[in-house]
C-alpha cells in the first residue's frame, strides 16, 4: 500500500476521524492478515497516516449526509460517513467492499478511486 503513496505523492486521502480509531482498535487483526509483527504494523501505520487527512463529521454538510444516507443507508450504514465525505469534497471513494460498490453503482454513484496499476 505504501508503494502507492511513494509512487504517486500527488494523491491526497481523506477519512472520517473514526477510521483512525478503527485502525488501532483492529490492529491485531490487520497485523495477522498482513503477517506483520506489531512493531512493523505500527511503522506501516505511521507512514500511511502521514498521507491521510482526517475530518470531523461536523465538516460535512447536511446535504451530503442526506445524500450519503440515501445511497448507502440500506447497504451498510457504517459507510455513510465515508460516502458523505466523498460527496462533500467531490472526491473518489476507495473501498474494497465489492457489495457496497455494486449497490452504490445501482443507485448511480460512480465516484470510485481505482489505484493505478504498476
Confidence of residue 4 (pLDDT cuts 50, 70, 90): very low
pLDDT > 70 in the chain, percent:
88
Domain regions of the chain by residue span: 1-55, 58-108
d(CA 59, CA 45): 24
Residues 6+ apart with CB under 8 A from 107: 70, 71
65-82 tens-digit pLDDT: 999 999 999 998 889 999
33-50 tens-digit pLDDT: 778 787 887 887 787 788
**C-alpha distances in angstroms, 94 versus 37, 39, 114?**
26, 26, 7
Confidence of residue 26 (pLDDT cuts 50, 70, 90): confident
* H-helix segments, the chain: 2-7, 17-25, 27-33, 38-49, 62-72, 80-88, 98-106
Amino acid at each position: 500500500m505504501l508503494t502507492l503513496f511513494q509512487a504517486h505523492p500527488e494523491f491526497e486521502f481523506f477519512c472520517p476521524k473514526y477510521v483512525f480509531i478503527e485502525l488501532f482498535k483492529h490492529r491485531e487483526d490487520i497485523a495477522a492478515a498482513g503477517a506483520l509483527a506489531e512493531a512493523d504494523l505500527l511503522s506501516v501505520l505511521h507512514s500511511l497516516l502521514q498521507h491521510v487527512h482526517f475530518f470531523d463529521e461536523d465538516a460535512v454538510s447536511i446535504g451530503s449526509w442526506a445524500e450519503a444516507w440515501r445511497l448507502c443507508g440500506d447497504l451498510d450504514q457504517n459507510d455513510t460517513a465515508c460516502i458523505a465525505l466523498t460527496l462533500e469534497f467531490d472526491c473518489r471513494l476507495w473501498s474494497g467492499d465489492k457489495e457496497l460498490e455494486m449497490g452504490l453503482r445501482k443507485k448511480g454513484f460512480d465516484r470510485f478511486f481505482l489505484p493505478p496499476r504498476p
